[in-house]
């Protein structure tokens, strides 16, 4: 029985070694396919920094009132609550720390930062027109994105593979060869996607730094579209030659 098992193992090793030798002899062509496109972002994330302030004859306008007015302003221009998130209280301080510090120093000006998701620059203009100039300390575009990015990524990678095959065909035709099936397909990571997708601060259309600049509109005029986001993907494919 042991001899039989040993013979089977040696036979299997021989076959495997022959297969490896055949694979090593196989001629291949390695190509890279690329596909790209540009799209207009349809998700604009703006950060709005709000802070308490002193109003002549009234005193300090409380943060709770500012928050309520802000939410009402968003609602008035058609922004859903689900598109509004709290980014921070008093910078990186927690809500508990904020309340605790207020007890020590009643004159402390509390603040809050929101992220608001918008669909168009026109909607951004509408929101700015509704904001409290005194309470608004900063307003800038933090990020832009494309809502159908996943579907677009899938299609572009399919197109990249097709482009790779087309390239392999004309390269091998030039030497009188013909491609066979794919030996391997390697997906290149998404490092070619434009940085605009993740951070738009470097090219912000901002009302930045102080509430006084809220009157100086620097966003796009007349509903002009944002600069487009460029998506580019690559796929490496190795084809066998017949």
Tens digits of residue pLDDT in 188-205: 876 545 444 444 443 444
pLDDT (0 to 100) of residue 122: 87
Using one digit for the tens of pLDDT, what is the confidence trace for 33-44? 999 999 988 899
pLDDT at residue 90, rounded to an integer: 65
**pLDDT of the residue at 85:** 94
Q: Which CATH number fits domain 41-146+195-223: 3.30.420, 3.20.20, 3.40.50, 3.30.70?
A: 3.30.70
pLDDT of residue 224: 54
Domain ranges in the chain are 41-146+195-223
With 0.85 as the threshold, say if the pTM is over it.
Answer: no
pLDDT of residue 228: 83
User: For the chain, first and last CA: distance in Å?
Assistant: 43
Low-confidence ranges of the chain (pLDDT < 50): 7-8, 10-12, 14-17, 19, 91-93, 192, 194-223
């Amino acid at each position: 029985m042991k001899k039989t098992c040993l013979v089977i193992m040696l036979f299997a090793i021989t076959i495997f070694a022959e297969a490896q030798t055949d694979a090593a002899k196989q001629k291949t062509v390695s190509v890279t396919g690329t596909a790209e496109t540009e799209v207009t972002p349809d998700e604009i994330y703006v950060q709005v920094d709000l802070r308490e302030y002193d109003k002549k004859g009234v005193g300090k306008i409380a943060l709770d009132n500012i928050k309520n007015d802000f939410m009402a302003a968003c609602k008035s221009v058609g922004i859903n609550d689900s598109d509004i998130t709290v980014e921070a209280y008093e910078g990186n301080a927690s809500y508990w720390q904020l309340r605790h510090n207020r007890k020590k120093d009643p004159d402390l000006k509390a603040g809050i930062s929101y992220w608001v998701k918008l669909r168009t620059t026109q909607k951004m203009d509408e929101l700015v027109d509704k904001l409290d100039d005194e309470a608004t300390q900063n307003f800038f575009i933090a990020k832009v994105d494309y809502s159908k990015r996943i579907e677009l990524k899938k299609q572009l990678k399919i197109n990249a593979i097709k482009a790779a095959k087309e390239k392999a065909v004309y390269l091998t035709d030039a030497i009188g060869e013909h491609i066979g099936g794919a030996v391997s397909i390697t997906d290149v990571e998404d490092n070619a996607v434009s940085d605009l997708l993740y951070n738009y601060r470097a090219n912000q259309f901002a009302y930045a730094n102080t509430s006084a600049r809220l009157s100086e509109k620097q966003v796009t005029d007349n509903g002009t579209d944002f600069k487009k986001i460029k998506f580019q993907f690559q796929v490496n494919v190795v084809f066998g030659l017949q």
